[in-house]
């Protein structure tokens, strides 16, 4: 009876979004008379930070402070259409839609400002602090709030913009069967070090080292947050979580948190992460987004590490103590 | 059904409500008092999102009979901030990105407060132990542990 150490590696190419019906997302941007902007989306932020990232994207494109942008994702009945928050598509698809909508709104905003300043809209620029001025002549300036008031009450203009992102549909080539399922891939590699106890069948993840290439990290702290939390979930799927019955039938399956197991704060492994940024040509400001890829490489890396430790392949998840002990018995020719 | 009068302090304010026999503290806080900070998760004491402090001790309010807090002091995350001034734990949670969906956060904060109130210099293991009854699905715990250790450090510095 002993504890065996093993190391496993997994590398993945991960598709961002999908290509069903072009995978569209829409965004609507409008200003209120106080010069603050609202971005309406139907994509839901479940805590991954999409509201923060789309807010940054809208502010950057409009040329206004982040504090002056509010992202409203409340209602998919009344908001513009979106395929949803899944398939790691949020940052890329929704971000691109927000850029398109914010560009159009910026155009109207600059037209309205041009009318107030009696200049050509092409000669105007934003300072990112809530002002618009003539390029090269910053004293010829008007605040975004004053432009919004003028547009609303004098010019009769709506400072608003519509945006949609739709990727070209890729049909299957009848000769070769070839198609382009997605337009953009992220990449990752993860090394897992584990310890397998051949008496109890327990697997402990000792350390993870990973590198993720996910385009430009639009909000580095949010990216790190996703990678740390996602790896935990990957570890949980690899070793703990299952709704399967243990013995002998489904009625004995997990029904609550006492039986549906997850690693707790005492079970987490040290995780060193390197984020590699290769801006994606078709991503919003080069971003692809971390998405589900945070969790994915952990599972094969842990399975490979278990193989390295005890020389048996576990082909079903999770790699539970029961599966380890059964596999060891099979390896050693002991009948069950 | 017979209703029983119940008096207790909630975040420093006197509360008087009528409870039904067998009603748990979480139910009283959310339905009778209208403090929605403690969450209803599993309802059987396994997830920790309903954690509140009773006379400074962390308690799973879903498993605590309301009548048992008669005359005692109950604390929830609603009482953490002092007006616009966030509690040192709240600031640390923000700075360490220790919340994502946020459902576990009220329970985590109260478990952490109970720890810091009794142990101002906790080790990493102390923090892990203190939040081991609280489940988080998003963060992988690491940012929460870091936030609590940082809050302990900041509290000592400003004391």
Domains of chain B by start residue, with CATH: 3-77 (3.10.20.30), 88-158 (1.10.150.120)
Using CB atoms, which residue from B47, B99, B140 is nearest to A228?
B140
d(CA A223, CA A218): 8
Based on the domain organization, do A160 and A29 belong to the same domain?
A: yes
Chain A residues with CB under 8 Å of B132 CB are: 264-266
A133 and A192 share a domain?
Answer: no
Q: Do B102 and A46 touch (CB under 8 A)?
A: no
- For residues A157 and A194, membership in a common domain is answered with no
Same domain, A189 and A327: yes
Q: How many CB atoms lie within 10 A of CB A53?
A: 25
Q: What is the pLDDT of residue A171?
A: 82
The CA angle A36-A38-A39, to the nearest 5 degrees, is 145
Residue in B140, B142, B144, B148 to test binding to A, most A beta-carbons within 10 Å = B140
Chain A, residues 185-244, CB within 8 A of chain B, namely: 221-222, 224-225, 228-233
Cβ-based contacts of B137 with chain A (< 8 Å): 233, 262
Question: Closest to B140 (Cβ–Cβ): which among A46, A231, A257?
Answer: A231
Contact A271 B142 (CB under 8 A): yes
Q: Domain for residue A171, yes or no?
A: no
| A47 touches B: beta carbon within 8 Å | yes
Cβ-count burial of B63 within 10 angstroms (0-12 exposed, 13-18 middle, 19+ buried)? middle
Do the chains contact at B139 and A256, CB–CB below 8 Å?
Answer: no
Of A230, A265, A271, nearest to B132 by CB-CB distance is A265
Q: In whole angstroms, how far apart are CA B43 and each of A257, B25, B60?
A: 11, 12, 9
Pair A124, A65 in one domain? yes
pLDDT at A181: 77
The CATH number of whichever domain residue A134 belongs to comes to 3.30.365.10
Are A190 and A308 found together in one domain? yes
Q: What is the pLDDT along chain A (336 residues), one digit of tens a residue?
A: 799 999 999 999 999 988 777 889 999 999 999 999 999 999 889 999 999 999 999 999 999 999 999 999 978 899 999 998 888 999 999 999 999 999 999 999 999 999 999 999 999 999 999 999 999 999 999 999 999 999 999 999 999 999 999 988 778 889 998 888 788 899 999 999 999 999 999 999 999 999 999 999 999 999 999 999 999 999 999 999 988 766 677 788 888 998 899 999 999 999 999 999 999 999 999 999 999 999 999 999 999 999 999 999 999 999 999 999 999 999 998 865
Our count of domains for chain A comes to 2
The pLDDT of B12-25, averaged and rounded, is 94
Judge if A200 and A298 occupy the same domain: yes
Q: Nearest CA of chain B to the CA of A213: how many Å?
A: 20
A190 shares a domain with A142: no
For residue A174, is it within any domain? no
A328/A205 same-domain check: yes
Q: What is the pLDDT of residue A246?
A: 66
- A36 and A131 share one domain: yes
Nearest CA to CA, how far is B52 from chain A (Å)? 20
Partner B contacted by A262 (CB < 8 A): yes
Give B42's contacts in chain A (Cβ within 8 Å): 256-257
| pTM for the whole structure | 0.92
Burial grade of A2 (CB within 10 A; 0-12, 13-18, 19 or more): exposed
Inside any domain, residue A170: no
Contact yes or no for B138 and A264 at CB 8 A:
no
Give a yes or no: residue A91 inside a domain. Answer: yes
- Residues A36 and A11 occupy one common structural domain: no
Name the token pair of B49.
């999102």
pLDDT the model gives residue A336: 56
Q: In the numeric block, which tokens belong to residue B83?
A: 């007006």
Under an 8 A CB cutoff, do B97 and A221 touch? yes
pLDDT at A248: 76
**Residue A284 CB contacts under 8 Å (≥ 6 apart), including other chains:** A57, A91, A92, A95, A96, A98, A99, A218
Q: What is the mean pLDDT of residues B105-113?
A: 98
Q: How far apart are CA A28 and CA A194, in angstroms?
A: 48
* pLDDT of the residue at A244: 77
Reported confidence tier of residue B43, pLDDT bands at 50, 70, 90? very high
Residue A198, domain extent: 3-16+185-332
Q: Residue B151: is its pLDDT beyond 90?
A: yes
Q: Are A307 and A192 members of one domain?
A: yes
């Amino acid at each position: 009876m002993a504890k065996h150490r093993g190391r496993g590696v997994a590398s993945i190419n991960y598709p961002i979004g999908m290509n069903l019906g072009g995978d569209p997302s829409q965004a609507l941007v409008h200003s209120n008379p106080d010069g603050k902007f609202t971005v309406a989306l139907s994509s839901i932020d479940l805590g991954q930070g999409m509201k923060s990232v789309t807010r940054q994207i809208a502010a950057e494109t409009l040329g206004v402070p982040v504090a002056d942008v509010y992202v409203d994702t409340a209602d998919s009945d009344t908001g513009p259409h979106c395929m949803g928050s899944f398939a790691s598509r949020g940052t890329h698809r929704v971000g691109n839609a927000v850029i398109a909508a914010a560009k159009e709104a910026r155009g109207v905003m600059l037209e309205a400002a041009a009318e107030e300043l009696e200049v050509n809209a092409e000669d105007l620029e934003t300072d990112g602090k809530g002002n618009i001025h003539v390029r090269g002549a910053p004293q010829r300036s008007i605040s975004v709030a004053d432009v919004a008031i003028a547009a609303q009450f004098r010019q009769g203009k709506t400072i608003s913009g519509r945006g949609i992102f739709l990727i070209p549909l890729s049909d299957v080539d009848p000769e070769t069967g070839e198609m382009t399922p997605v337009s953009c891939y992220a990449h990752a590699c993860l090394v897992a070090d584990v310890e397998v106890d051949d008496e109890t069948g327990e697997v402990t993840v000792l350390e993870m080292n990973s590198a993720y290439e996910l385009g430009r990290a639009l909000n580095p702290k949010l990216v790190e947050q996703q990678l740390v939390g996602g790896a935990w979930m990957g570890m949980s799927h690899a070793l703990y979580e299952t709704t399967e019955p243990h013995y002998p039938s489904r009625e004995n399956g997990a029904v609550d948190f006492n039986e549906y197991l997850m690693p707790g704060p005492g079970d987490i492994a040290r995780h060193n992460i390197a984020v590699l940024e290769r801006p994606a040509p078709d991503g919003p400001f080069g971003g692809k987004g971390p998405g589900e890829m945070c969790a994915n490489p952990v599972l094969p890396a842990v399975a490979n590490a278990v193989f390295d430790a005890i020389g048996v392949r576990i082909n079903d998840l999770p790699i539970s103590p029961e599966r380890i002990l059964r596999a060891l018995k099979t390896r050693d020719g002991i009948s069950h | 059904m017979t209703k029983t009068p119940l008096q207790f302090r909630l975040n420093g304010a006197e509360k008087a409500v009528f409870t039904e026999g067998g009603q748990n503290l979480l139910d009283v806080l959310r339905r009778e008092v209208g403090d929605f900070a403690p969450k209803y998760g599993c309802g059987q004491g396994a997830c920790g999102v309903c954690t509140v402090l009773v006379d400074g001790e962390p308690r799973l309010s879903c498993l605590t009979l309301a009548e048992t807090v008669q005359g005692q002091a109950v604390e929830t995350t609603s009482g953490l901030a002092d007006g616009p001034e966030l509690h040192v734990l709240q600031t640390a949670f923000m700075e360490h990105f220790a919340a994502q969906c946020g459902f576990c956060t009220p329970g985590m904060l109260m478990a952490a407060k109970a720890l810091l109130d009794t142990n101002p210099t906790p080790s990493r293991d102390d923090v892990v132990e203190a939040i081991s009854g609280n489940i988080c699905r998003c963060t992988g715990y690491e940012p929460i542990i870091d936030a609590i250790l940082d809050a302990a450090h900041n509290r000592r510095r400003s004391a």
